């Protein structure tokens, strides 16, 4: 009888023990899969946001560069957008049309989509006296013989995600 009792304890695992072990491994595997799925979804959402931020940043950098490299006296700005003459590129214009912020090159008759999802744009010009204007050049001061100097242009983009603003300094002599 001692041999029989001794053999029973060394016989192995019972069915209940095997089922408990399988259930534990299944739960560990399921939690690992769920965690991986969540990480991939967060990464996908983050990637989309980073691409959008990159698109906005590229457009603002190009706009700033074009404005800073524009020819003297060529900046024209009104409620429709801004136009400038940039050496080597020709006449450039920026405007919002059909929810898209466009950069147009008149010499090549080409319009480049800079940002989509643009509800509206607002441009303001800052003169040398520190006064903001909705259009440039200022008509009433030119008729009086006073020609103020353009110091900066502010671009506000009303995007589907919110409003973003960029203030671009105009180099001395560019639009006198």
Whether the CB-CB separation of 168 and 63 falls below 8 Å is answered with yes
Q: Residue 94 domain-assigned?
A: yes
Whether the CB-CB separation of 147 and 176 falls below 8 Å is answered with yes
Q: pLDDT digits over 39-71, tens only? A: 999 998 898 899 999 999 999 999 999 998 887
Length of the chain: 176
Helix (H, G, I), strand (E, B) or coil at 166: strand
* Structure token digits, residue 44: 């996908």
Q: What DSSP state is assigned to residue 134?
A: S
Q: b/e map of 116-150 (b: 16 or more CB within 10 Å)? A: eebeebebbbbbeeeeebeebbbeeeeeeeeebeb
Q: Residue 158 domain-assigned?
A: yes
Q: Is the pLDDT score of 7 beyond 50?
A: yes
Residue 120: which pLDDT band, with cuts at 50, 70 and 90? very high
Residue 52's Cβ-count burial label (10 Å; 0-12, 13-18, 19+) is middle
- What does the alpha-carbon distance between residue 154 and residue 165 come to, in Å, rounded to a whole number? 7
Q: Residue 26 domain-assigned?
A: no
Q: Residue 71 domain-assigned?
A: yes
- What does the alpha-carbon distance between residue 105 and residue 125 come to, in Å, rounded to a whole number? 22
Total count of domains within the chain: 1
Q: Is the pLDDT score of 23 beyond 90?
A: yes
Q: Residue 81 domain-assigned?
A: yes
Segments forming the whole domain that contains residue 79? 46-169
| Cβ partners under 8 Å of residue 136, min gap 6 | 75, 76, 77, 78, 125, 150, 153, 175
Q: pLDDT digits over 75-95, tens only? A: 888 888 999 988 777 889 999
Q: Residue 142 domain-assigned?
A: yes
Q: Residue 101 domain-assigned?
A: yes
Q: Is the pLDDT score of 175 beyond 50?
A: no
Q: What is the mean pLDDT of the chain?
A: 86
Q: Residue 123 domain-assigned?
A: yes
């Amino acid at each position: 009888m001692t041999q029989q009792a001794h053999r029973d304890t060394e016989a192995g695992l019972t069915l209940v023990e095997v089922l408990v072990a399988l259930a534990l491994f299944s739960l560990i595997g399921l939690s690992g899969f769920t965690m991986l799925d969540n990480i991939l979804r967060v990464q996908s959402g983050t990637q989309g946001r980073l691409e959008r931020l990159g698109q906005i940043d590229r457009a603002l950098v190009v706009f700033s560069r074009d404005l800073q490299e524009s020819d003297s006296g060529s900046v024209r700005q009104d409620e429709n957008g801004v136009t400038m003459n940039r050496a080597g590129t020709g006449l450039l214009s920026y405007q919002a049309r059909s929810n898209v912020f466009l950069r147009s090159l008149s010499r090549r008759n080409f319009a480049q989509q800079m940002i989509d999802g643009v509800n509206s744009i607002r441009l303001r010009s800052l003169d040398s006296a520190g006064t903001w204007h909705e259009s440039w050049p200022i008509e009433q001061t030119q008729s009086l013989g006073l020609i103020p100097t353009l110091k900066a242009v502010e671009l506000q983009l009303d995007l589907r995600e919110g409003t973003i603003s960029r203030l671009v300094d105009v180099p001395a002599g560019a639009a006198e």
